Structure 1
Amino acid sequence: MRLFRSSELLGIARETMEFILEACEDTHPNEYMGFLRAEDARTLGLDRSGQVITDILVVPGTESSPVSATVKTNMKPNDLKSVGSVHSHPNGVLRPSDADLDTFGQGEVHLIVGAPYGWGNWKAFDNAGEPTHLDVVDVELPENRFFDFTQEDIDAELERDDGGFFSWLR
């Protein structure tokens, strides 16, 4: 893994955008909010350098209502994979409010998804709240990337008699 990511954001993975649309619809009539994380495009099989949005991070303790979603800032991670935010507007309005603009400072792209949460019901914005283009990219996302262990690792650990890392599960 490189220490600094490429500054070019190539797009968002189709599967990730599908997840966003479903999550926004499932949360309706309340707002949905999450943070966008990206991976190096070369690790996803693309022949270009740059980043592709692949993950949505939902921060524990996020409070949501029909008119806002609030995140405790001390819970928001600050990592190199963070590239922006996503939130829904249950009223369908696809432009940032003044409150949205106050949160757009971190990251390079911010998505707003409006009801009825279809493919034509989202827009991307830069930090200043100006519309920007974001391609939907067809890449295959690796399965179970979040944890760096397999089910076999868990089973082997659970079979150990010395307590081990997963002893709290027993």
Structure 2
Amino acid sequence: MSFLSKIFNNNEDIEFEEICVDREVLDAVIYYSKQSYPNEFLAFFDGEIKDKKLYLLSLIFVPGETGSTGAVVHTEMLPPTLKYWGSVHSHPGPSAQPSGADLKTFSKHGLFHMIVCLPYGYDTFMAYDKYGNPCKYTVGDYSYMFDEDIDDFFDESDVLKEGEVIKPGFFDEDANFDDEPNTAYEEYEKSLRPNNVKIISNNSLEPIIISNGDSIKIEFDENGNIKKIHKK
């Protein structure tokens, strides 16, 4: 058995030496974490083992309730045959350290777990094994490696019958998410930005407004008065 398999101590014949997370999975976690803010977001990992590597390729969404201090999902609603490899959830704060409740979830629901904290980016993810020990992982584009298996996801019931139309699901790309947009995270981002600064010269020149990232050039006359101000 591999090193990771021994750590996870799983009864099944599971063996892998590396964990690879698809980039689009992390992008989705970041998106839904921002949409859920200031509440937590939680989902489970779906994936496959290939060449002794565990590839996490998609998310499994389960009904539940979330709040600013935790999330509860109804795992009893998952089909008993469904295999998931672990969980990922957001913290609406600056720490990605697992709480006691998180550690309990880790121990019961899979082998590999991730937490993302504010401001929700690639560098604010932390990964853990089922015991709460930090884990290493690799991020990349892996879905193309499993394209040949796409037929396994479809059967005859997935094919539209004559006269049927596609109705957007909750996570469809074309669904309209703008009916009641969540602006809480946008307000959080604004709070991180420095306010604009207005510079007023000691003569009759018009004031100039500079924002974050702007730079200015100030020219003085022979008497030390400001002659010209302009952005660079």
Partner of 1:140: 143
Shift of 1:139: 1.9
Residues 116 and 77 (structure 1 numbering): CA distance in 2 closer, same or farther, change over 3 Å? farther
Inter-CA distance 76–138: structure 2 relative to 1 (3 Å threshold): same
Q: CA deviation at 1:73?
A: 3.3
Distance 2:44 2:79 in 1: 9
Q: Which runs of 5+ in 2 are unaligned?
A: 1-11, 165-232
Matched, 1:113 2:119: no
Q: Is the 8 A contact 1:13 1:52 kept in 2?
A: yes
Tell me the SS of whatever aligns to 1:107. Answer: coil
> Whose radius of gyration is greater, 1 or 2?
2
State how far apart, in whole Å, the 1-side matches of 2:36 and 2:140 are.
25
Instruction: Give the count of matched residue pairs.
Output: 148
Secondary structure of 1:19's aligned partner: helix
RCO higher in structure (CA 8 A, sep ≥6): 1
Does the CA-based 8 Å contact 2:46-2:83 persist in structure 1?
yes
Cα distance, 1:137–1:149 mapped onto 2, change above 3 Å = same
Read off the aligned partner of 2:93 and give its amino acid letter. Answer: N
Contact 2:112 2:130 in 1 (8 A): yes
Alignment of 1:15-30 (within 5 A): 15-30=24-39
The answer for the alignment partner of 2:3 in structure 1 is none
Residue type of the alignment partner of 1:93? S
Maintained 8 Å contact 1:36/1:55: yes
Task: Give the equivalent residue in structure 1 for 2:94.
Answer: 92
Q: Is the 8 A contact 2:65 2:73 kept in 1?
A: yes
Task: Tell me, yes or no, if the aligned pair for 1:31 and 1:89 is still in contact at 8 Å.
Answer: yes
CA distance in 2 between partners of 1:25 and 1:138 (Å):
22
Alignment counterpart, residue 74 of structure 1, candidates 76, 91, 95 = 76
TM-score in terms of structure 2 length: 0.56
Unaligned runs of 5+ in 1: 42-47, 159-170
Q: Provide closer, same or farther for how the CA distance between residues 145 and 137 of structure 1 changes in structure 2, counting only shifts above 3 A.
A: farther
RMSD: 2.8
Moved over 3 A (4+): 76-81, 144-147, 149-152, 155-158
Residues 1:7 and 2:15 aligned together: yes
Amino acid at match of 2:126: K
TM-score by length of 1: 0.75
